[in-house]
Amino acid sequence: MNFQDIIFYFFSSVLIVSALGVITVRNPVYSALLLVLSFVTSAGLWLLLEAEFLAITLVLVYVGAVMVLFLFVVMMLDINLDKLREGFWKWFPIGGIVALVMVVEIAIVMFGQYFSLDAMPAPEPKTVEYSNTKELGRLLYTEYVYAFELAAVLLLVAMIAAIALTLRHREDKKSLDVAKQVSVKKEDRLRIVTMPAEKKG
């Protein structure tokens, strides 16, 4: 067992334990933090596959932005855990079947001919000049440019839709016109009063 194997087994065991923790711990904040841990460890696994761009982007996007907002929301929720757990055994059979189907599907893909270890051998070590990022950019902006643009438009539509659905115009809303505030001059607010000095008795 060489050094890379040790790292791989370490990261994958941490990943499995933290992923199990996400769905089993009682405290939702812990579960969000364990999800962060599993993102970071899977980024470590991707680094072993020499996919440094994807690994760092995973940390940057999911850990640095998405999970921060998740945590933000989870911390503000007042979750009644007993109520959440009430229906667990009632829905367990259905959930179990769904989970089983997913496991079987993943197994079919992983052990099939397209993704097996023979079809997808470990990547050849690249030279120092080889830049993962450049290759990915070249592919995304040439061969897959339509799919890429389509995904971007889809995200934009989803973003606008989310804003449009939640934006409410209330009559009694108190808001400030920032441009007006910024352009305030001294003369608008300040009045210098000259008044005669009082007479001394």
Contact 26/81 with Cβ under 8 angstroms?
A: yes
CA 133 to chain centroid, in Å, comes to 20
| Nearest to another protein of 19, 33 (CB atom) | 33
Contact 38/18 with Cβ under 8 angstroms?
A: yes
56, 55, 59: which is closest to 37 by C-alpha? 59
Encoded one letter per residue, x for contact with another protein by CB under 8 A and - for no contact, window 41-60 reads -----------xx--xx-xx
| Nearest to another protein of 181, 194 (CB atom) | 181
Span from 81-89, 96-104, 128-136, 185-193 in contact with another protein (CB under 8 A):
128-136
69, 78, 62: which is closest to 28 by C-alpha? 78
Q: Spell out the alpha helix ranges (H) of 49-144.
A: 52-58, 67-76, 81-86, 88-111, 132-141
Identified binder of another protein from the candidate list 10, 133, 135, 157, rule CB under 8 A: 133
Number of residues engaging another protein in binding (CB under 8 A): 24
Alpha carbon distance 163, 152 (integer Å): 17
Q: How far is the CB of 81 from another protein (least distance, A)?
A: 15
Contact 14/37 with Cβ under 8 angstroms?
A: yes
Alpha carbon distance 68, 75 (integer Å): 11
Encoded one letter per residue, x for contact with another protein by CB under 8 A and - for no contact, window 169-188 reads -------x-x----------
| Nearest to another protein of 29, 109 (CB atom) | 29
Q: How far is the CB of 4 from another protein (least distance, A)?
A: 12
Whole-angstrom CA distances from 164 to 70, 73, 169, 175 are: 21, 20, 11, 19
Q: Which of residues 5-34 bind another protein (CB under 8 A)?
A: 29, 33
Q: Which of residues 68-107 bind another protein (CB under 8 A)?
A: 68-69, 71-72, 75-76
- Binding residues for another protein, rule: CB under 8 A, are 3, 29, 33, 36, 52-53, 56-57, 59-60, 63-65, 68-69, 71-72, 75-76, 131-133, 176, 178
